[in-house]
A and B are shown apart, each in its own frame.
Chain A
Amino acid sequence: EAGVAQSPRYKIIEKRQSVAFWCNPISGHATLYWYQQILGQGPKLLIQFQNNGVVDDSQLPKDRFSAERLKGVDSTLKIQPAKLEDSAVYLCASGPGKGKRTYNEQFFGPGTRLTVL
């Protein structure tokens, strides 16, 4: 089966510019996650969707970050305006879990490496 797709794979922008990342999860997966992974650290959850509803966005910097999952499938993460500290790899993951507990493994996409200059 096809894995989680993300685009673009790399992005370089100037600070204060805007950027958007796209994610297509594995077909049929109800749960979608966006993580931020700064070099040398573990992934940090930004937002979790169950179908097209938000389950958790407590660590999403809402003054500059936004995310949506239209029709419960694809998702877009946007940063506007970007700061230097936003430089990181943004990972999208999906999982088949339909309940509130994360019973199942998460399948990660290849990520988008963002560099903010």
Chain B
Amino acid sequence: QQPVQSPQAVILREGEDAVINCSSSKALYSVHWYRQKHGEAPVFLMILLKGGEQKGHEKISASFNEKKQQSSLYLTASQLSYSGTYFCGTEFIQGAQKLVFGQGTRLTINP
């Protein structure tokens, strides 16, 4: 039931774009995105709710495809500060109302 993230790792040069995907085998109520830098706590980026509502940082964009139970996080014109591991957390429509996190996508931005 853990969501699957892809890719597992990506290396970019500063200024390049990246897309991180999160797929679930179960129907989702919401998808949450967090970024975690090495040795630090995860930091909230965005929530996408079933039905289209979103809440998050202005510089972050994401989508939620309810038909496919997939979410994508779009990182454009990447900066060095974007480096870290990105986790999606999924909340299912059925069952316990809690977040199940994916295994993470490690993003490295080089100058």
Most buried by A among B43, B98, B103: B98
> B41, A56: Cβ atoms under 8 Å?
no
User: CA of A4 to CA of B32 in the docked complex: distance in angstroms?
Assistant: 19
A65-111 at interface with B (beta carbon < 8 Å) = 91, 100-111
Chain B residues with CB below 8 A from A56, complex form: 96-98
Total interface residues on A, CB under 8 Å, equals 24
Q: How many A-B residue pairs have CB under 8 A?
A: 59
Report 26 cross-chain contacts, Cβ distance below 8 Å, ordered by A residue: A40-B104, A41-B104, A42-B2, A42-B87, A42-B89, A42-B101, A43-B87, A45-B98, A45-B99, A45-B100, A48-B98, A55-B97, A56-B97, A58-B96, A102-B97, A103-B30, A104-B47, A105-B44, A105-B47, A105-B55, A106-B44, A106-B99, A107-B44, A108-B41, A109-B41, A110-B41
CB distance from A40 to the nearest CB of B (A): 8
User: CA of A56 to CA of B100 in the docked complex: distance in angstroms?
Assistant: 12
User: CA of A1 to CA of B104 in the docked complex: distance in angstroms?
Assistant: 29
The answer to the question of A64 belonging to the interface, with a C-beta cut-off of 8 Å to chain B, is: no
> A108, B42: Cβ atoms under 8 Å?
yes
